[in-house]
Amino acid sequence: MNLSAAIAKMILEGLEIDGQIELQRNELAQQFGCVPSQINYVISSRFTPEQGYMVESRRGGGGFIRISRVKLGKGALLMHVINNIGQSLDEKTCRAHLLNLKHQSIIDKNSADLMLAATSDKALKLLSDHTREETRAIIFKNLLLAVSKA
Amino acid sequence: MNLSAAIAKMILEGLEIDGQIELQRNELAQQFGCVPSQINYVISSRFTPEQGYMVESRRGGGGFIRISRVKLGKGALLMHVINNIGQSLDEKTCRAHLLNLKHQSIIDKNSADLMLAATSDKALKLLSDHTREETRAIIFKNLLLAVSKA
DNA sequence: GGGTCAAAGGTCAGTAATGGTCAAGAGCCC
DNA sequence: GGGCTCTTGACCATTACTGACCTTTGACCC
């Protein structure tokens, strides 16, 4: 397991307790024997709003970084996602949406896997870039709608 | 035995253990004294979904390629369907397959609904008839595969 | 209050470490 | 010879890590 994964794991464990964790950047970096900015890297790559996290911080003496898991209602969240998709959707963003929804227990693993399969680049490989991303957006919206009706 | 066969053999042996193997592309290439892309060739020619394998990978530091054998059982039936779909699939036939699978309790209602949503004409409305039916076939196969590994 | 300084955290660009794609050529079998 | 499968290499994309430099905040002093 690489450094980033280890740091992410530790943060995740801290979040288990009450969905929120407050940490000291320098201290954490020292624990892992890495440069402080590594912490920023991990946070910005794995604890984004897209993935269901909120990050706050303060500099200066007694500074901190606080990461919290955000909680929203199921129908609202689905609608929010649908409404924010737009006409076109790339695979990475789609995957992030799914991870987020799964993490928040809006959809179960099984559904997430299916939705991933249906919207992967692999599944849409015949299409040109532009058409693929437009079609992915439509398929994904249809899927979310199907979920919200279930 | 040629290189590709040797590499495939090694992967197959690794899969024996627990139906899953994780490898380092560069490292493996070095072991066989070939270019890294040779590994991709072997994987894409012999470890395809059609042949019952699932491949995942990640780039970057600590990257990997993971190959897993799709579990059989009800999987066998799914593979049978997958292998009989062909290159092209119309909405009616697709729907029939789904009803059939649901009837046989191979998939649950929830999954069937999702799969229907992903393969409906509505979801693929942007595409020309020909492309739509080819893409539907691919999506459906990917979905069945996802189900079979669940 | 205002100045100063030390203690946080933030940004960004560069480098390293992987894997992916594609097209061209080499071999092999009919 | 034609058409496969196999190999290779150049070039690309993604993820991880580091370090130099920047900004913000709080404490202390006058």
The residue-averaged pLDDT of A75-99 equals: 86
Residue B39 and residue B70 in contact, taking contact as beta carbons nearer than 8 Å: no
Same domain for B43 and B94: no
Which of B61, B123, B134 is the closest to A138 by Cβ? B123
**Domain CATH code at residue A27:** 3.30.56.130
Same domain for A12 and A36: yes
DSSP string, chain B: --HHHHHHHHHHHHHHHHSEEEE-HHHHHHHHTS-HHHHHHHHHHHS-GGGTEEEEEE-STT-EEEEEEPP-SHHHHHHHHHHTT-S---HHHHHHHHHHHHHTTSS-HHHHHHHHHHHSTTTTTTS-HHHHHHHHHHHHHHHHHHHHT-
**Domain CATH code at residue B139:** 1.10.1200
The residue type at B113: D
Length of chain A in residues, anyone? 150
pLDDT number for residue A149: 74
CA trace torsion A92, A97, A102, A106 (10° rounding): -160
pLDDT number for residue A72: 63
- Which residue in this structure is represented by tokens 């740091």? A7
Same domain for A65 and A13: yes
pLDDT number for residue B13: 95
Same domain for B58 and B16: yes
Count of structural domains within chain A:
2
pLDDT number for residue B93: 95
Give chain A positions within 8 Å (CB) of B116: 146
> What's the pLDDT tens digit per position in A32-84?
999 999 999 999 999 998 788 999 999 988 899 999 998 666 777 788 889 88
Same domain for B99 and B55: no
Same domain for A127 and A94: yes
Same domain for B91 and B47: no
pLDDT number for residue A73: 61
Same domain for B113 and B98: yes
Last residue of a domain, one of A69, A90, A111: A69
Query: What residue is closest to D24 (Cα–C1')?
Result: A59
Domain that holds residue B56: 3-69
User: Does nucleic acid strand C have an atom less than 7 angstroms from the CB of A26?
Assistant: yes
pLDDT number for residue A49: 86
pLDDT number for residue A102: 82
Is the CB of A131 less than 8 angstroms away from the CB of B127? yes
Last residue of a domain, one of A46, A69, A92: A69
- Cα gap A101→A78, rounded to integer Å: 8
Average pLDDT, chain B: 91
Residue A47 and residue A7 in contact, taking contact as beta carbons nearer than 8 Å: no
- Cα gap A114→A91, rounded to integer Å: 14
The residue-averaged pLDDT of A117-142 equals: 90
Is the CB of B142 less than 8 angstroms away from the CB of A120? yes
Give chain A positions within 8 Å (CB) of B145: 117
Low-confidence ranges of chain B (pLDDT < 50): none
Let me know the angle formed at the C-alpha of B108 by B102 and B114, rounded to the nearest 5 degrees. Answer: 95
Same domain for A96 and A49: no
User: Does nucleic acid strand C have an atom less than 7 angstroms from the CB of B62?
Assistant: yes
pLDDT number for residue B137: 92
pLDDT number for residue A62: 87
Is the CB of A138 less than 8 angstroms away from the CB of B126? yes
Strand D contact set, beta carbon < 7 A: A 2-5, 34-35, 37-38, 41, 45, 58-63, 92; B 2-5, 34-35, 37-38, 41, 45, 58-63
Last residue of a domain, one of B69, B97, B115: B69
Same domain for B92 and B64: no
The residue-averaged pLDDT of A123-138 equals: 89
Query: What residue is closest to C21 (Cα–C1')?
Result: B37
Nearest to B118 by CA among A99, A146, A75, A45: A146
- Which residue in this structure is represented by tokens 């699939």? B89
- Cα gap B83→B79, rounded to integer Å: 6
Same domain for A141 and A82: yes
Bases of chain D within 7 A of a CB of the protein: 5-10, 13-20, 23-27
pLDDT number for residue B120: 95
Same domain for A91 and A141: yes
Average pLDDT, chain A: 90
Residue A115 and residue A98 in contact, taking contact as beta carbons nearer than 8 Å: yes
User: Is A128 a residue whose pLDDT tops 90?
Assistant: no
